[in-house]
């Protein structure tokens, strides 16, 4: 099945997806997007692949990318300071979560930092890769991976107990084309909010969709493990935790358990 067949025709956006490149098989849509961005491709260009042979995940991990899912990258050039870049990942996770909810009625939520979860299993993730100097963003690539129509048996053993797909959760196959169209349209709306520097609107929506805020969490940092109540995120999307002794910690990156 051709995931982006006729997508441009149905897409009601001004910037995001004005140009869409579709590939059958690539190493990584993020890798190719970064190359294209360096060569000056226009803002909003979207790359979609059916299969990735070297899909990239967070913290140097790989992203399992067989046929049947969504793998896409959006090339952006916001005229914003590098400090605003973390908002890109927040708005992408907001849009993915909203669109899953709209199309499937499943109770998708964001697990900090930006994993999309349904019933305690990961269904999608975001990887934003950036070229910036200390002042400004040169370009950003927002990569989105979403498990759509693969079945439980398709998952490799090491992730089969922690990962899922929309099809597994909804009990029916899901139209990838409407997911992509709605996702790009919703992302464009939130991208405008970001460019308007309406940080609070983004943080509030992220918190509304979050599965993490209000939970007792365990975080493994390099040399220690901490436990506490995840009570908020900072304006950069870092997780604020209140420990048992009432001291406060801010976690910048990594994985949490609960």
Residues that bind ligand BTN (CB under 6 A): 28-30, 52, 55-58, 61, 63, 71-73, 115, 125-127, 143-145
Instruction: Tell the smallest beta-carbon distance from residue 23 to ligand BTN (Å).
Output: 11
Nearer to ligand BTN, 51 or 229 (CB): 51
Instruction: Tell the smallest beta-carbon distance from residue 145 to ligand BTN (Å).
Output: 3
Nearer to ligand BTN, 56 or 77 (CB): 56
Other Cβ atoms within 10 Å of 151 Cβ, number? 12
Nearer to ligand BTN, 29 or 149 (CB): 29
Which H or E run includes 35?
Answer: helix 29-38
Query: In a 10 Å sphere around its CB, with 0-12 CB exposed, 13-18 middle and 19+ buried, how is residue 121 labelled?
Result: middle
Instruction: Tell the smallest beta-carbon distance from residue 176 to ligand BTN (Å).
Output: 13
Nearest to 69 by CA among 155, 162, 140, 142: 155
Instruction: Tell the smallest beta-carbon distance from residue 143 to ligand BTN (Å).
Output: 3
Q: How far is CA 166 from CA 85, 99, 111, 189, 209, in A?
A: 29, 12, 16, 24, 17
Nearer to ligand BTN, 115 or 228 (CB): 115
Nearer to ligand BTN, 169 or 228 (CB): 169
E strand intervals along 87-165: 109-111, 115-118, 121-132, 137-146
Q: How many Å from the N-terminal Cα to the C-terminal Cα in the chain?
A: 37
Q: Which residue in the shown chain puts its C-beta closest to ligand BTN?
A: 125
Instruction: Tell the smallest beta-carbon distance from residue 112 to ligand BTN (Å).
Output: 12
* Longest Cα–Cα distance in the chain: 57
Other Cβ atoms within 10 Å of 155 Cβ, number? 19
């Amino acid at each position: 099945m051709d995931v982006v067949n006729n997508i441009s025709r149905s897409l009601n956006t001004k910037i995001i997806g004005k140009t869409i490149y579709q590939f059958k098989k690539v190493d990584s849509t993020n890798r190719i997007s970064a190359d294209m961005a360096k060569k000056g491709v226009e803002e909003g260009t979207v790359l979609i692949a059916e299969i990735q042979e070297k899909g990239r995940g967070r913290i140097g991990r790989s992203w399992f990318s067989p046929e049947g899912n969504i793998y896409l990258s959006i090339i952006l050039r916001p005229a914003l300071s590098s400090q605003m870049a973390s908002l890109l990942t927040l708005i992408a996770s907001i849009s993915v979560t909203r669109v899953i909810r709209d199309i499937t009625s499943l109770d998708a939520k964001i697990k900090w930092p930006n994993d999309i979860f349904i019933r305690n299993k990961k269904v999608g993730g975001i990887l934003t890769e950036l070229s910036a100097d200390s002042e400004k963003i040169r370009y950003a690539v927002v990569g989105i991976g979403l498990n759509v129509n693969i079945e439980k048996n398709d998952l490799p053993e090491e992730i089969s107990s922690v990962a899922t797909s929309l099809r597994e959760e909804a009990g029916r196959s899901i139209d990838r084309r409407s997911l992509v169209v709605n996702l790009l349209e919703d992302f464009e709306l939130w991208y405008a909010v970001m460019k308007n520097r309406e940080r609070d609107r983004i943080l509030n929506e992220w918190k509304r969709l979050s599965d993490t805020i209000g939970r007792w969490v365990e975080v493994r940092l390099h040399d220690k493990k901490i436990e506490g109540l995840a009570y908020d995120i900072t304006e950069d999307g870092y997780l604020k935790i209140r420990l048992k002794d009432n001291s406060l910690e801010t976690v910048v990156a990594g994985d949490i358990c609960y």
